[in-house]
Every structure is written in structure tokens, then in C-alpha cells.
Structure 1
Amino acid sequence: MSLFAKMEHRFQPVPDDKQILVQPFLQACNDGIIPFLEAFGKTFIPVKSDVAGNINKLQTKFDSDPEKFSSFNAMLEDEVKTQDTDLARVGGLWLKRGLEFICTIFRMMIEEYKSGNMSENFGAITRKAYEQSLKKYHGWLLQKMVLGISRTLPSTKNMLKMLSESEDTNDQLIMDMYQFEQELFANLEVLNALFINMDLDDQSKV
């Protein structure tokens, strides 16, 4: 069974009111995203730590009043109004961006596999995904760090093997990855629109 198929918590379908519930979203991140990043090995620890740190910021905000802050909308509206914390504004923004990077990696792997021309250089896939997502928000130093990390990643073959966690075929793994990517992407589209509409999509580089 693949990492994606055995997840206890998954990204939920987007409701009609576009209110993304915080707790199920964070549970899906902890069940699927963190283990995926762990599969990269020790060199990807900084990326995992960054994602986990942003998850923790949102969890802290949620835990302060679970009933009041059940949705991302409620969290962000509170911070815009009160300015008391920036846990959702900052943690949510950077978690969303990190997930967009990961979602792009999934999409590229799926597209390359379906084309029958998947690169064995997983670092190259990661660099391409980074250029299409996170790179524009990073300054020179962070860009160099990510480039260095990408050169130490396992081969694509080994990555697929680690994500399978069983004797499943790559066909089954890619199907599971596709389902996970679709669920994640649907949520990210709504979150991205939320940050833009609330004028919280800060384009400053770090």
C-alpha cells in the first residue's frame, strides 16, 4: 500500500461555501505531506521543518479557540480585524506556498510517468517545480540552498520505491498520487483565492 493510500486523514472536498476547515486540513498535512517530505531523506529536513513550523502556527491559532477558528476564513478575518496575531496570515500563507511546491512536484511526476519518459533525476524534477512555485518568493540565499538540496536527492526510482512502501506497482502508486494531488489542489485553489481576495498574498521575498 502506498503512502497516499494508507492515509487516515485526507484533504476534504471543498464545500459549497468555500470554507476550508482547519483541523481536517492540518491532519491531512500531517498524514500525507510530512511523511512525503521525510522520504526525501536528511537533506530535506529544512523544508520539512519549515512546513511543520507553519502547520504548528495554524494549530496554535486553532487551539486557542477551536469553535471560533474552525475555518481558515474565520482565522484570517480575525487577524485582519484585531491584528492580535499573525499565525494564520504568515503560517497559512507559507504553508499554502510550500504545498503548492509539493503539488507541482506531484503533477510533474504524474505527467512524466504517463508520458513514459520519467526522468531518473528526481533533483531535476524538484528544481523545475521550485522554479514554477516557490522560487519567486525567495531571495538569493534561499534559492542557493534549495538548489544545493536538490542535488543530493535520491533517484526517481528510489523515490517511487520509498513512496510505495510495498510491492504495489508504480501504476498503482501514480494513481494514488494523482488522487491525493487532486484533493490537495482543489483546497489550494480556494486558499489561494482567499489570500488574494483579502489582500494577504504578500509578494515580498525572504
Structure 2
Amino acid sequence: MGSQEVKLLSFWVSPFSKRVEWALKLKGIDYEYIEEDVFNKSHLLLELNPITKKVPVLVHGQKTIAESFVIIEYIDETWNDQYPLLPQQPYQRAIARFLANLVEEHVMKPAFVAMCATGEEREKAMNVIREAMYRIEEEIKGKKFFGGENIGYLDIALGWISYFIPVWEEVGSLEIIDPFKYPATYAWMTNFITNPMIKDTLSQRDKMIDYFHNMKREYSST
């Protein structure tokens, strides 16, 4: 099953796509990378993911899987003899999934708003982030990675924080993650981003800053 051809439809600045790249790299899975223009979607993307029409999409032989968290679990279960990602214990797996979803709703979305917005709207978004970040800080205290000594599922799910948040902070001229309030999280960010396998997949920072400046301008004009 694992030897079938693997393709990943991705977008260079998508944190969701990056997660899948990281999972594939950590598992040592060979795959074909297909860059998508999300503003001018290909027939292939529309055919493979007609409902949400979003990346990432993983193609494994004749099977197509969408949504980054679902894809990561599929990868982990399909190549289960290579570098396990999810915790072995059911309770720990449940906590990892819970925290991944918490950060998606309470950090990623409001952090993007905080980058783009000003005044009361920004402050409201920042309050949501602070509450979630205290929970994350407690979880990572005393550990190198959420997965222990090695990068695991939750590290992959939250890994975008280590690279995207500093870019969003620069674009929005604000501080989203205070290293003094969240020292364990800050140390984890450095551990994650300096891992050679992760480092190799990161998009060019200057290019990302330009991209998100444009996103901010679009947000402000709506």
C-alpha cells in the first residue's frame, strides 16, 4: 500500500500545506510536489477536491485525501512502520487533536486578523490568542517538542507558528507571541524551525512578507 505513487497539491505560502510536507519528509516518503495557484485554480485541483477547492490535497495511488489534519493522520496510519507521529496512547492522541484544533481556531485565525486589523478588532483578536497561548505554554513546558525528544503530530500541526507568526508580527507591526510570557513556546519555536528537515521546506521570508502585505491591504479595503 505504501509503495504507490504519492503526489501533493500544495501552495508555497499555505501553512496547511506545509504541515503535510513536514509529515511526508519526517516519514521519508518520496512524493511529487505540484504547486497550485490558489487564485487561478487548476482543473486538477477542482477535479480532486471539488467541494472545498482548497490545498493541500494528497494523492496516493487512486486515493485522494483533503484537509491537512486528515492527511497527516492518513500518512501516519498508512506508513505506520516509519517514524510514528501521533502519540501511542488514546488519551494523548485525543489531547493532541484537541490542541491542534484549539490553535487553529484560537491562534491561527485571530493572529491573521490581528496582523490585518487595528484598534478594537485587533485587541479582541489578541485576547483570544493570549488565552490559547497560555494553554500551549503549559503543554510544552519542560519538553523540547510536544512529541518529547522528537517532532510529532502536534509539532507538525502547530509548526506554522514558528515561521508564520514572526512574519505576521513584522507585517502587522505587533507582537503576537511575547518571549517573556511564553518562554517555553518560544524555545520550542526555535527547536522546530532549526530542525534541518523543517528548515529545508521553508518559503523565502522576503517573499512571504510581500505576500502578506498584499493580503493586509486587501483585508483593509474590504
TM over 0.5, shorter chain: no
Greater helix share, structure number: 1
Structure with the bigger RCO (C-alpha within 8 Å, sep 6+) is 1
Greater strand share, structure number: 2
Q: TM-score, normalised by structure 1?
A: 0.30
Q: TM-score, normalised by structure 2?
A: 0.28
